[in-house]
Amino acid sequence: MKNLIFLILPMLLLVSISCEKDEIQATGNHGRMDETPVDGKGQAIGLTVPFNLSCQTAGKVVGSRNGVLTMEIDGSGKGVYLGEFTWQAKSNVNTTRVPYSQTGEMVFRTANGDRLFGSFTGTGLPVEAGASFEGTYLITHGSGRFEKSSGSGTYSGFAAYTSEREFTGQLWFSGRLTGL
Q: pLDDT tens digit string along 116-175?
A: 999 999 999 999 889 999 999 999 999 999 999 999 999 999 999 999 999 999 999 999
Greatest mean pLDDT range, 23-32, 58-67, 80-89:
58-67
**Across 81-110, average pLDDT:** 96
Instruction: Give pLDDT, residue 37.
Output: 53
Measured CA to CA, the distance from residue 2 to residue 92 in angstroms comes to 68
Instruction: Give pLDDT, residue 81.
Output: 82
